[in-house]
Amino acid sequence: MTTATLVNHQVRLARRPETTATREHWNFTTEPVAEPSEGGVLVQTLSLSLDPAMRGWLNDAKSYIPPVAIGEVMRAGGVGRVISSQNPAFAVGDTVYGTLGVQEYALVPQDALKRVGLVKIDLRLGTVGQWLNVLGMPGMTGYFGLLDIGQPQPGQTVVVSAAAGAVGQTVGQLARIKGCRAVGIAGGPAKCDWVVKELGFDACIDYKAGPSAVREGLKQHCPNGVDVYFDNVGGEILDQVLARLARKARVIVCGAISQYNNANSMPGAGPRNYLSLLVNRARMEGMVVFDYADRFPQAIAELAGYLKDGRMQSKEDVVQGLDHFPETLNKLFAGGNFGKLVLQVAAA
Ligand SMILES: NC(=O)c1ccc[n+]([C@@H]2O[C@H](COP(=O)([O-])OP(=O)(O)OC[C@H]3O[C@@H](n4cnc5c(N)ncnc54)[C@H](OP(=O)(O)O)[C@@H]3O)[C@@H](O)[C@H]2O)c1
């Protein structure tokens, strides 16, 4: 392929949103595609991972990663194909994962390879979608959050919120594989049915079913309390689960999506029922998936094995076209995605 005629369509941050990011917060730009210099690689984006964390990257606030700068191409992890290479570690045709950005082509100079985290991936282990889901960042989050921090023991009850989402589906299925009871919390009967009937969770609580749905559901499905709570949503649901903790419970603070669009970048009020930690000699611990990068290969091998032998399934919700990025991202905050949300930019 010659790059001479290629045009790169990109999505850049135009201004910072106070609450929900809408189309006016983005700029759609184009620029010619350049050849890589010595040691560099040119990657064509195939599919991008749309993640709740992206909303946090738009805030001018201190976090585990710097905010996206005004005018910068929006940060996004993605799978792509090498179309030109001046680096012996990457050949034309290789499929790669990295922080490619919301754009059709990522030119990665040699000194940016590490920052972009460009790695080759093997499509024999999973599809492009699965490499953004169970075998990708969400899967790694579920794996290390549950196993390292949650330390679930066979027979214990694991509860996970946003259960039909990317991280949640891995957590619940892995909990079952490790011999635990898995109870999901998700929005709506379709998602709840899917996690129970297709993924094999023991139960799922539809938190949209009424004001006392979570309280009643936890009482019914976790009669001996919650040993491990994998929290993806924060807010009121976290409070309800705290009130049902078992002795020595572990709460994994993975995310708080119910709070991300709050005005003024406020992460949301803390949990009211935190004294349950004292009463139950329990603990809460935050996690950031990138801390486990050295161990990703081991987790990928294990999870790929489960996909292959059928013990694990994965569901991706694929939307096509870079132009749809602003509205597609917002699906995450309204529960509009069913499974891992993927933006397909080019056919694999
Ligand atoms: N710490 C880390 O390293 C790390 C890494 C990856 C992800 N995360 C976090 O993990 C969480 C899940 O991420 P994901 O990529 O797997 O997203 P996801 O679950 O695929 O999508 C987000 C889901 O959150 C649910 N949701 C949205 N607003 C909600 C609300 N107000 N109350 C309850 N549920 C709500 C929706 O499902 P329903 O239809 O069920 O409401 C939505 O589909 C996020 O909080 C994310 O920030 C953390």
Domain membership of residue 91 (yes or no) is: yes
Are 166 and 245 within one domain? yes
Task: Judge if 205 and 268 occupy the same domain.
Answer: yes
Q: Per the domain annotation, does 189 fall within a domain?
A: yes
Query: Ligand 1 pocket: which of 135, 167, 262 to mutate (most atoms <8 Å of CB)?
Result: 167
Q: Tally the domains of the chain.
A: 2
pLDDT of residue 333: 96
Q: In the predicted model, is pLDDT for residue 268 greater than 80?
A: no
> Are 57 and 143 within one domain?
no
Encode burial over 178-206: b for 16+ CB neighbours within 10 A, e otherwise: bebbbbbbbbeeebbebbbeebebbbbbb
> Domain residues for 91?
7-132+315-344
Residues 116 and 147 in one domain: no
Query: Cα separation of 133 and 65, whole Å?
Result: 21
Taking only the tens place, the pLDDT of each residue in 311-327 is 999 999 999 999 999 99
Find the DSSP H helices in the chain: 53-57, 113-116, 128-131, 137-144, 166-177, 189-193, 213-221, 235-242, 275-279, 296-309, 325-334
From ligand 1's centre to the CA of 348, what distance in Å? 26
Q: Which pair of structure tokens corresponds to residue 123?
A: 């499509």
User: Tell me, what CATH number does 235's domain have?
Assistant: 3.40.50.720
- For ligand 1, the distance from its centroid to the CA atom of residue 345, given in whole angstroms, is 23
Round the average pLDDT of the chain to a whole number and report it.
Answer: 96
Are 40 and 19 contacting, i.e. CB atoms less than 8 angstroms apart? no
Together in a domain, 284 and 319: no
| pLDDT for position 267 | 58
pTM of the predicted protein model: 0.97
Residue 180 lies in a domain: yes
Say whether pLDDT at 301 is over 70: yes
Q: pLDDT per residue over 120-152, tens digit each?
A: 999 999 999 999 999 999 999 999 999 999 999
Q: Is the Cβ atom of 333 under 6 angstroms away from ligand 1?
A: yes
In a domain, 305, yes or no: no
Has residue 265 got a pLDDT over 90?
Answer: no
Q: Is 255 in the pocket of ligand 1 (CB under 6 A)?
A: yes
* Residue from 192, 214, 232 to probe ligand 1 pocket by mutation (most atoms less than 8 Å from CB): 232
Dist. CA 154 → ligand 1 center (Å):
26
Q: Is 238 in the pocket of ligand 1 (CB under 6 A)?
A: no
pLDDT more than 70, % of the chain: 98
One domain, residues 286 and 236: yes
